[in-house]
Amino acid sequence: MQPQMAPQGYPQPPMAYGAPGAGPTAAHQITHGPSFAMLRVDLRPGETLVAEAGAMIARHQRVGMEVKLNAGRSAGIFAKLKAIFIALVRKAIGGETFFVNHFTTPQSGSVWLAPALSGQIQYRRMQGETLVLSSGAYLAHMGDVDLKLKFGGLRGMLAKEGAFFLAVSGLGDLWYTSYGGIEYVDVNGSYMIDNGHLVGYEGNLTFNIRTAGGGMMGFMASGEGLVCEFQGQGRVWIQTRNLGALVSWLSPLLP
Amino acid sequence: MNFEILHRPAHSMARVHLNANESVLAESGAMIGMSPNVQMQTQAGGLMSGIKRMFGGESFFRNTFTAHNGPGEVLLAHALCGDMRTLEMTQYGYFVQSSSFVASTPNVQTETKIGGFKTFFAGEGVFVLKATAPSPGALLIGAFGGIEELQCDGNLVIDTGHLVAWDATLDYSVGKSGSGWIASFLSGEGLVCHFRGQGRIWIQTRNASAYGQAIGSMLPPRSA
> In which band, very low, low, confident or very high, does the pLDDT at A19 lie, cut at 50, 70 and 90?
very low
Report which of residues B220 and B83 the model is more confident about: B83
For residue B206, the distance in angstroms to the closest alpha carbon of chain A comes to 6
At residue B52, the pLDDT reads: 62
Is A48 within the bounds of a domain? yes
Q: pLDDT averaged over chain B?
A: 85
Is B43 within the bounds of a domain? yes
At residue A2, the pLDDT reads: 44
Contact (CB<8Å) A247/B203: no
What CATH number is associated with residue A229?
Answer: 3.60.160.10
At residue A190, the pLDDT reads: 92
Looking at the structure of chain B, the number of domains it has is 1
- CA nearest B88 in A: which residue? A3
For residue B48, the distance in angstroms to the closest alpha carbon of chain A comes to 30
Q: pLDDT averaged over chain A?
A: 80
Is A6 within the bounds of a domain? no
How far the first Cα of chain A sits from its last, in Å, is 45
Is A8 within the bounds of a domain? no
A228: number of CA atoms within 13 Å, CB side?
28
> In which band, very low, low, confident or very high, does the pLDDT at A151 lie, cut at 50, 70 and 90?
confident
Contact (CB<8Å) A53/B189: yes
* Cα A194 to Cα A117, A210, A212, B74, distances in angstroms: 19, 10, 8, 44
At residue B117, the pLDDT reads: 46
Residue B162 backbone phi and psi in degrees, to 5: -105, 5
Q: How far apart are CA A199 and CA A184, in angstroms?
A: 9
- Best of B81, B94, B150, B157 to disrupt the A interface (most A CBs within 10 Å) is B157
Q: How far apart are CA B23 and CA B68, in angstroms?
A: 9
- Best of B66, B181, B186 to disrupt the A interface (most A CBs within 10 Å) is B186
pLDDT in tens, B116-150: 544 444 444 567 888 999 999 999 999 999 999 99
**pLDDT > 90: what percent of chain A?**
44
Is B210 within the bounds of a domain? yes
Is A136 within the bounds of a domain? yes
For residue A64, the distance in angstroms to the closest alpha carbon of chain B comes to 9
Q: How far apart are CA A26 and CA A15, in angstroms?
A: 10
* Cα B170 to Cα B137, B155, B156, B165, distances in angstroms: 20, 10, 11, 11
| Rg of chain A (C-alpha set) | 19
Q: Is B128 helix (H, G, I), strand (E, B) or coil?
A: strand
CB contact A84 to B (< 8 Å): no
Is A11 within the bounds of a domain? no
CB contact B171 to A (< 8 Å): no
Is B139 within the bounds of a domain? yes
Is the per-residue pLDDT at B60 higher than 90?
Answer: no
DSSP A71: -
Question: A232 is in which domain, residue-wise?
Answer: 16-253
pLDDT in tens, B13-43: 999 999 999 999 998 889 999 999 999 988 7
Least confident of A12-21, A40-49, A182-191, B39-48: A12-21
Contact (CB<8Å) A254/B157: no
Is A4 within the bounds of a domain? no
> In which band, very low, low, confident or very high, does the pLDDT at B98 lie, cut at 50, 70 and 90?
confident
Is A133 within the bounds of a domain? yes
> In which band, very low, low, confident or very high, does the pLDDT at B214 lie, cut at 50, 70 and 90?
confident
> In which band, very low, low, confident or very high, does the pLDDT at B54 lie, cut at 50, 70 and 90?
low
Is A154 within the bounds of a domain? yes
Contact (CB<8Å) A61/B156: yes
Q: How far apart are CA B5 and CA B26, in angstroms?
A: 15
Contact (CB<8Å) A6/B3: yes
Chain B neighbors of A59, CB-CB under 8 A: 156-157
Say if strands A198-202 and B147-159 run parallel, antiparallel, or are unpaired: unpaired
Contact (CB<8Å) B220/A251: yes
CB contact B86 to A (< 8 Å): yes
Residue among A219, A86, A220 nearest A152 (CA): A86
- CA nearest A247 in B: which residue? B219
Residue B208 backbone phi and psi in degrees, to 5: -60, -40
Burial class (CB in 10 A: 0-12, 13-18, 19+), B42: exposed
| Contacts of B64 by beta carbon, 8 Å cutoff, 6+ apart | B23, B24, B25, B26, B40, B41, B42, B43, B106
* Cα B46 to Cα B49, B62, B111, distances in angstroms: 6, 11, 12
Q: How many Cβ atoms are within 10 Å of A90's Cβ, its own excluded? A: 18
Q: How far apart are CA A114 and CA B124, in angstroms?
A: 18
Contact (CB<8Å) A101/B159: no
Is B222 within the bounds of a domain? no
- B161 near B145, Cβ under 8 Å? no
pLDDT in tens, A61-119: 999 998 887 765 555 677 667 767 766 665 554 455 568 899 999 999 999 999 999 99
Burial class (CB in 10 A: 0-12, 13-18, 19+), A54: buried
At residue A110, the pLDDT reads: 95
- A40 near B175, Cβ under 8 Å? no
Contact (CB<8Å) B155/A62: yes
> In which band, very low, low, confident or very high, does the pLDDT at B202 lie, cut at 50, 70 and 90?
very high
- A39 near A139, Cβ under 8 Å? yes
| Rg of chain B (C-alpha set) | 18
At residue B132, the pLDDT reads: 93
Q: Residues 14..73 of B with a Cβ closer than 8 Å to A: which?
A: 19, 22
Question: B174 is in which domain, residue-wise?
Answer: 2-216
Report the residue from A1, A58, A243 with minimal CB separation from B1. Answer: A1
At residue B128, the pLDDT reads: 83
pLDDT in tens, A189-247: 999 988 789 999 999 998 887 777 666 655 555 556 678 889 999 999 999 998 888 88
Largest CA distance in chain A: 68
* Cα B223 to Cα A251, A255, B139, B219, distances in angstroms: 12, 8, 40, 12
Is B224 within the bounds of a domain? no
Is the per-residue pLDDT at A7 higher than 60?
Answer: no
Angle, nearest 10°, between helix axes A243-250 and B208-216?
A: 80
Is B24 within the bounds of a domain? yes
Query: Can you tell me the mean pLDDT for A24-51?
Result: 91
Query: Can you tell me the mean pLDDT for A131-154?
Result: 85
Contact (CB<8Å) B155/A61: yes
Look at phi and psi of residue B181 and say left if phi exceeds 0, alpha if psi is from -120 to 50, else beta: alpha
> In which band, very low, low, confident or very high, does the pLDDT at B55 lie, cut at 50, 70 and 90?
low
What CATH number is associated with residue B43?
Answer: 3.60.160.10
Q: How far apart are CA B164 and CA A31, in angstroms?
A: 17
Looking at the structure of chain A, the number of domains it has is 1
